[in-house]
Chain A
């Protein structure tokens, strides 16, 4: 088959780019162990209020784990519980969250924390709060008429 020289150039360019992107993805998933925020942990969405730890949302100090605090969030139309939380600066926090009704978003603006909260699934993300100040949590999955009013705050305070 005859192929123009230029055609070979851009086919090789495209193939190499694809291989680079897939390698980055593969290293991230299989070597660094990255996984989606919602990864096989399930919950009965009707019984969120009586299922630990979601029966008492908030910040909990933990010991003997890779993180210092566990921050439990429950999302429902159209609010988050807790509505505001204070976290000591520099602490590593595992956010554990789920939804009581429909799909909600959970984004801490300006950070990598950005996950979907699906009814029936528990989403988790471990992160560190290095900067003092207020962080805004917003819902970025359209969930109904009150979607734009759905927010919460994380205040990072010095120890």
Chain B
């Protein structure tokens, strides 16, 4: 019998043992290949304007996926190998040479890997059609997608998995060399000493977590700081979580054990001792699941928040449907004509917004912080835009906003700059000296307004003045007049918007709501897809991890529950204790994951990666996650119960 056929027989003979490992490899191949196929998809390329930027997002995501897939396969491999140590020991005892055994393990893993890649690629070809359609729909394009096979994608997948499988195969080869016989035989010997409670671990873990969270709540200014903080947070959270799972749970369980009146009360003794018995092996898994859950949740939260908020963002970036600088040329007539010709989108409001561009005095010391920074950045430019209260109120009315302002004398109102977290207290009582050709005027901030008036451009500094003051200044500088239109159903003004942009009147700084909206839609769609995809993968992975782990435990618990039944434990009690134990295993990482997620969201808000109203996205993501987890939980308890009651 050749080695190769021995390895083959091994696989067929112990199919059940192999199935789990095989399935997790297939799973990895499927997600990876599906994703890579999207990256190389010609269908998507044809239908998306910003395909290049999309590609880079996909590239980054696929790097994360490679890391994930590698860890996942490595994890399942370790799990699988552990269960086979005895078998390997047996071969050795039977007189097979180490080299022979090593080769056998190597071929075996290689064979399974090859099988998994083939199966995975086939499966994912079906899936990628579905995902392509989903992606295109999210991006607002509806097309029918056929089956396509991309050679590039195929090559990419093969390359990545050949590397991973080769590494795990080599690990398999070395197994027999890394342990001596007695260790191999004792691999699954029942009973391990109970882990000691290390108070130091609990303390360090807590400190690390508190530290990580504390950093998350610190304000950041520069990019360097952001990077440093992210690394610090990641390091302290990962280690902290692990230490806490490793130690605090043991501590809690031991405390539960010491509380005799509840420990020795019915089936509790079984649940607690089972959890304690396995905690060492479970700590790593729980950590991994808690962290993956946090990542998944954050991914989903970011995705949904972008999708949920992009219309609001677009409205802030581009308050009016169409905006341009009016210079009184004939060109303008052309624009006006096009806008009015669009009968599907009748004009609801047409407004002229006059605006004064001025500079501030460099020696001004009482500036609000934000303006001070702009001042330093643009020392030469007239970056301050002044509008009158009357104009502001007209804009509010035209855009159906409720915000109104009344100012008198040298009172001024700042329009809240985008991408800042400034509040009124940052401006209250501060003054700014406006430089006019004939004089300098000092105004005092008395309000902070939310409503945006014109298209967003950096530097973003709009100050509203009282009507008297404004008209006084108007005499000294020539205002720039913006012409703005608000039309009905502006989200669908693609045709008109394109027509206007094609006119090529660049000096009019023409901008349209539709263009901004569409760009937002594409990037939000892309984000929600990529993040959703990653989230789904992580979700499936965490679910599988718990599920598989619980099932293997169920198999090893079978004998224990049989004994319990023999001494008179009722089926109902068995179900109770299984539900409680599984709840513990599911709930802990979920709670920790949710809490980490909230912290991560806080960090992302701080660095403006997400913004707007995020309470609804957060709640939906968490709700969604809990619902899925509940499903996993019920499935696990059911299967567990069936296995031990066979």
Question: Do A and B come from the same complex?
Answer: no
